[in-house]
Amino acid sequence: MKKYSLYSLIKNSFSYHENWQRAWRDPIPKKEYEIIIIGGGGHGLATAYYLAKKHNIRNIAVLEKGWIGGGNTGRNTTIIRSNYLWDASAGLYDHALKIWEGLSQELNYNVMFSQRGVMNLAHNLQDVRDLKRRTHANRLNGIDAVYLNTEEVKKFCPIINTSPDIRYPVLGGTLQRRAGTARHDAVAWGYARSADEMGVDIIQNCEVKGIKRNGGSVEGLETTKGFIKTKKIGVVAAGHSSVIANMAGLRLPLESKPLQALVSEPVKPIIDTVVMSNAVHAYVSQSDKGELVIGAGTDDYVSYTQKGSHQIVEGTLSAILELYPIFSRMRMLRQWGGIVDICPDASPILSKTSIKGLYFNCGWGTGGFKATPGSGDLFAHTIANDEPHKLNAAFNLNRFISGDLVDEHGAAAVAH
Amino acid sequence: MFIINCPYCGERDQQEFKAGGEAHIERPKQPTELSDDEWAEYLFMRKNIKGVQFERWNHAHGCRKWFNVARDTSNDEIKVVYKMGEKPPLE
Ligand SMILES: Cc1cc2nc3c(=O)[nH]c(=O)nc-3n(C[C@H](O)[C@H](O)[C@H](O)COP(=O)(O)OP(=O)(O)OC[C@H]3O[C@@H](n4cnc5c(N)ncnc54)[C@H](O)[C@@H]3O)c2cc1C
Ligand SMILES: [Zn+2]
């Protein structure tokens, strides 16, 4: 693989950028792999990358039914932060944030990680108490967090309407300066390119249709490109996790629901951070192209249609307008939905199952993009050693039996 | 976004309704006898079907009555609406 550098950029400009090497191969599936990852989103590709890099397993395939990154990875609003309340979550998400900080260099691929800070607003007394409590909890876990009063919020992001007579006045907020955003596609592409270089077969347009079992262990997969043998399967299929679990006769504690986002027409730089508001469910940042990136909420019914209801978008936009009157004449350019896999405790599952050789990485719901590098690293560890890493031990499937839930619903800053 | 035919009020926009999740999950008859595994199955595990699923809906901003719906979750098409206590349609 040719290294990307200033030199390669200049060199390729002489041939009008028509001779760049393909970033990854387009292989025909082999008869058998040591490990197969189902799902070519960021988490699946990162899992394959860390399996190859840290565990030295090279005979791996990633099977993707569409194109890589075409699922939630390419549909999310890219907010990255680690200011979660509980110790287990703080450990998990901050592990990921630390990897983000060096990821572009490690992959030799610019994932455009931008630590522009994430601010979470409080709109009522309970919000204020919860956010202060979370700030303290974060600091005890070594995660940077500050609490801001209304004037400090206004100073950090001057376009916010902090007038006391709006419907939900801004009473304060928290700020994590190390938090920010990244370019979603680049994350999938960067992991794919490096995994491919180490020998991982990335097979697109290959849908898994069935799981073949021999008693209590897995034997292989039925796919649209034929049967492929393997003894270890890592399922990283986000909204479709339950569908794949069903192929193995399992049920998961998940519900798949549409989550929407939208972007505006591009404008000059106006907001240089990410601002989220849990109470009114509105969050906004600005992409490098200049579009406002706005996240809406989930619908309350199960659906696999990748489109949500209109009133959800309407609700979010009315909250945005109340908080940012300056956006009142903006026009929205595109709107879309993704199917998110929601766990009862709003925490993910990175776990072995009752079937030998079958592992699940799911339940990230509305907020897993931020965890992509950490999730891949820890899931690779879990598959390679048939044991969880200490950072993902709490996120096993057994917690729904023991009752040891990691309840981040409401406890975390916002769903994302 | 779709239209739901409330068995009591007729066709209304989906936003008048509250989704109640998977239908026909029976409350354990003898809760004290249940093992932790059985509790987990009852409380947390869901079929989460891609295809026709039986689910409960409540006409929250209308008559406020509960009823059942058979809906294809892959395209949000409603197949049948039937009342609480009725058996799910076979197909
Ligand atoms: C609108 C929206 C906004 C969001 N905003 C944020 C945010 O700001 N911050 C944040 O941290 N998170 C956010 N999220 C959540 C985040 O996108 C996800 O948690 C994360 O991207 C999941 O990554 P993944 O690789 O597990 O899933 P995906 O990228 O969805 O990958 C799963 C892949 O599996 C494939 N697949 C499924 N079934 C099969 C099969 N049978 N055979 C083969 N392949 C199959 C799919 O095609 C898909 O490509 C948001 C999500 C949405 C929808
Ligand atoms: Zn009604």
ipTM over 0.85: yes
Bridge partners (DSSP) of residue B83 are: B67
Q: Which of residues 51-90 of A touch B (CB under 8 A)?
A: none
From the CB of residue A297, how many other CB atoms can be counted at a distance below 10 Å?
A: 20
Which residues of B are less than 8 Å from A240 in CB distance?
A: 50
* Biggest distance spanned by C-alpha atoms of chain B: 43
Residue nearest to atom 41 of ligand 1 (CA): A208
The SS3 assignment for A25 reads coil
- CA dist A270 → A27, A160, A266, A288, A326 (Å): 44, 11, 11, 11, 10
Contact yes or no for A349/A401 (Cβ under 8 A): no
Q: pLDDT tens for residues A238-297? A: 999 999 999 999 999 999 999 999 999 999 999 999 999 988 888 999 999 999 999 999
Minimal CA separation from B50 to chain A, in Å: 7
Question: Ligand 1 pocket test: which of A62, A63, A65, A72 has the largest number of ligand atoms within 8 Å of its C-beta?
Answer: A72
Contact yes or no for A47/A361 (Cβ under 8 A): yes
Minimal CA separation from A281 to chain B, in Å: 17
Q: Is A283 in the pocket of ligand 1 (CB under 6 A)?
A: no
Integer Cα distance of B22 and A344 in angstroms:
14
Instruction: Give the count of Cβ contacts less than 8 A between chain A and B.
Output: 71
Residue nearest to atom 13 of ligand 1 (CA): A367
- With CB atoms and an 8 Å threshold, state whether B50 touches A243: yes
Taking CA–CA distances from B45, the nearest residue in chain A reads A253
Contact yes or no for A71/A41 (Cβ under 8 A): yes
From the CB of residue A215, how many other CB atoms can be counted at a distance below 10 Å?
A: 7
Distance A67 CA to ligand 2 centre (A): 42
CA A371, distance to chain mean position in Å, is: 6
State residue A138's pLDDT score: 97
Minimal CA separation from B80 to chain A, in Å: 16
Contact yes or no for A406/A393 (Cβ under 8 A): no
Phi then psi for residue A358, to 5 deg, are -115, 120
> Touching check for A8 and chain B: CB below 8 Å?
no
State residue A411's pLDDT score: 62
Of B50, B45, B72, nearest to A256 by C-alpha is B50
Instruction: Choose the closest CB to A256 out of B19, B37, B48.
Output: B48
Which ligand 1 atom minimizes the distance to the CA of A236? 26
Which residues of A are less than 8 Å from B18 in CB distance?
A: 300
Sheet containing B18-22: which strands, arranged edge to edge? B18-22, B52-58, B66-72, B77-83
State residue A281's pLDDT score: 86
Q: pLDDT tens for residues A150-176? A: 999 999 999 999 999 999 999 999 999
Give the pair of three-digit tokens for residue A3.
């290294």
Integer Cα distance of A339 and A72 in angstroms:
7
The single-letter DSSP state of residue A95 is H
Q: Which of B2, B48, B61 to mutate to test the interface with A (most CBs of A within 10 A)?
A: B48
Which residue type is seen at A243? Answer: V
Residues of chain B with pLDDT under 50: none
Instruction: Choose the closest CB to B53 out of A253, A302, A403.
Output: A302
From the CB of residue A29, how many other CB atoms can be counted at a distance below 10 Å?
A: 18
Q: Is A258 in the pocket of ligand 1 (CB under 6 A)?
A: no
Q: A392 CB contacts (<8 Å, ≥6 apart)? A: A92, A350, A351, A378, A379, A381, A382
Task: Name the E strands within A145-247.
Answer: 146-149, 172-176, 180-181, 201-203, 208-214, 217-223, 226-235
State residue A414's pLDDT score: 52
Distance A238 CA to ligand 1 centre (A): 5
State residue B91's pLDDT score: 61
Task: Name the E strands within A215-357.
Answer: 217-223, 226-235, 255-264, 274-277, 282-286, 292-298, 332-342, 349-352
Q: Which residues of B touch A (CB under 8 A)?
A: 1, 14-15, 18-19, 21, 36-37, 39-41, 43-50, 53, 55, 73-76
Q: pLDDT tens for residues A367-391? A: 999 999 999 999 999 999 999 999 9
Phi then psi for residue A133, to 5 deg, are -60, -45
- CA dist A324 → A18, A225, A253, A287, A332 (Å): 44, 50, 38, 17, 15
State residue A71's pLDDT score: 98
- With CB atoms and an 8 Å threshold, state whether A252 touches B53: no
Residues of chain A with pLDDT under 50: none
Of A402, A405, A381, nearest to A391 by C-alpha is A381
Angle at A186 between CA A83 and CA A359, to 5 degrees: 65
Contact yes or no for A159/A324 (Cβ under 8 A): yes
Integer Cα distance of B60 and A226 in angstroms:
48
Taking CA–CA distances from A311, the nearest residue in chain B reads B15
Q: Which of A240, A299, A302, A402 to mutate to test the interface with B (most CBs of B within 10 A)?
A: A302
